[in-house]
Chains A and B, each alone.
Chain A
């Protein structure tokens, strides 16, 4: 199963689950905002999406990952708007029978997300100005 949510405001993580008797691995990734962008201090990041297309593409990607790797479920939340330093911007949980496929699926999912999902970052500088982020990591 796939759950994809693109949200404004604070991100509430998916609940851990003790009832998955078939899944030996529950892998969670939290992407957080650093305090620098290309060695420049920032106050926050502001995320921008192509409304509609971003969620459709992200859902299609999540489904592709579930076909490509033998995992049970992939849940993903991505924040939009201003995200403060240290806060989570991306939260992904993957369940699978064994750890290896979950780790590989997570790496591939995030790699592809950063390659094709129409979401961008703006750096909010300490003087309040907003510029497109140069960071593609």
Chain B
């Protein structure tokens, strides 16, 4: 098993009601697996929300395998300015 930290912002925070989640995952789990779990936890609230993924504060393009201790953020559309 591995342990990862999920940072929640904007619509993800609103849907899950949490700033941060610590999750235990099976070895070999990917960002795609984790996104699916997060979307299930958010029920319908994240259905229409596109999410980019950042691992350890860097955007990643495709599903990558997660490692123990990784920090993951599912980033809803950004709104700076």
Contact = CB atoms under 8 A, between A and B. Distances in A.
Contacts of A113: 80-81
B73 A121 contact: no
Contacts, number: 61
Q: A-side binding surface: helix, strand, loop or mixed?
A: mixed
A119 B75 contact: no
Contacts of A48: 9-10
Interface in B42-57: 54, 57
Interface stretch (A18-26, A66-74, A127-135): A127-135
Contact of A117 (B9, B14, B73, B78): B78
Contacts of B73: 50, 53, 118
A120 B57 contact: no
Contacts of A78: 80-81
> B interface, by DSSP: helix, strand, loop or mixed?
mixed
A61 B19 CA distance: 26
Given A50-B73, A118-B9, A31 B54 contact: no
Interface of A: 31, 47-48, 50, 52-54, 56, 78, 89-90, 110, 113-122, 131-133, 135-136
Interface of B: 7, 9-11, 13-14, 54, 57-59, 73, 75-81
